[in-house]
Amino acid sequence: MISSDKPEENIALRVTSLEKFYPGAHKRIVFDKLNFDLLSSERLAVLGRNGQGKSTLIKILGGALQQSSGAVDWRVKPSWPIGFGGGFQGSLSGLDNIRFLARLYRQNFTVLRDRVDDFAELGTKLLDPVKHYSSGMRARLAFGLSLAIEFDCYLIDELVAVGDARFQQKCQDELFERRKERTFLMASHDVHLIGRLCDKALIIESGRARMFSNVDEALDIYSWLRSA
């Protein structure tokens, strides 16, 4: 249940009775009646074995997937799911995708282009259609765009190890150090990253979810579930 002792002004996200299922002869329930609050500046890990609904939840919260029922109430501006490249129009160039998102988010195109170009390091590849990009190039473009637009909360779906060690460190510095006061919601199997960065954890298992204020306890249970 949602706790009533949280000051409303501190709530970044409220999720109420959220359900996701796929109808059919054998109705498949991904999760059922999820309730939780995410407070401003909190870093929440979403844990669960493969197929339990971590990525599905991130995509619903980011508006990339429709829930079956329930409410997602954002009180701050969230990012799209970082690590999810499905939002690009493949027939358009990287540059045209930047132009589209500049209009959508009411950003100055020239400023946004320069920020993405500087960070993603794609050079003339920005002139090519995104459908010809490798998965790594798409991830670099998505990461560059996510960091070129300032969000209050960052949704992270299993960070992809993109590029060499220098570029990976650049990504982590930009996201977790320069934006350390922002709110994060992160789905990941990387227990070391979760343990280092997150202060709360939500475990999804068999359609149900449980919130843990102690991340170490959550990681112990998650490790047990994975080995069961």
CATH at residue 57 = 3.40.50.300
Q: Is residue 210 part of a domain?
A: yes
Q: Is residue 50 part of a domain?
A: yes
| The pLDDT value given to residue 36 | 93
| The pLDDT value given to residue 83 | 64
What does the alpha-carbon distance between residue 21 and residue 29 come to, in Å, rounded to a whole number? 4
Q: Of 12-16, 83-87, 127-131, 197-201, where does mean pLDDT reach its minimum?
A: 83-87
This prediction's pTM? 0.85
| The pLDDT value given to residue 100 | 92
| Average confidence (pLDDT) over 106-129 | 93
pLDDT tens by residue, 120-138: 889 999 999 999 988 778 8
Q: Is residue 192 part of a domain?
A: yes
Q: Is residue 135 part of a domain?
A: no
Most confident of 47-56, 66-75, 139-148, 153-162: 66-75
Domain containing 68: what range? 1-79+153-158+183-228
| The pLDDT value given to residue 3 | 47
What does the alpha-carbon distance between residue 130 and residue 132 come to, in Å, rounded to a whole number? 5
Specify the number of domains making up the chain: 1
Whether 154 and 82 have beta carbons less than 8 Å apart is answered as yes
Q: Is residue 29 part of a domain?
A: yes
| Average confidence (pLDDT) over 28-57 | 91
Q: Is residue 176 part of a domain?
A: no
Q: 168 or 130: which carries more pLDDT confidence?
A: 130
Q: Is residue 103 part of a domain?
A: no
| The pLDDT value given to residue 1 | 43
Cβ density class 76-108: b for 16+ within 10 Å, e for less: eebbbbbbbbeebeeeebbbbbbeebbeeeebe
Residue 46's pLDDT band (cuts 50, 70, 90): very high
| Average confidence (pLDDT) over 88-93 | 84
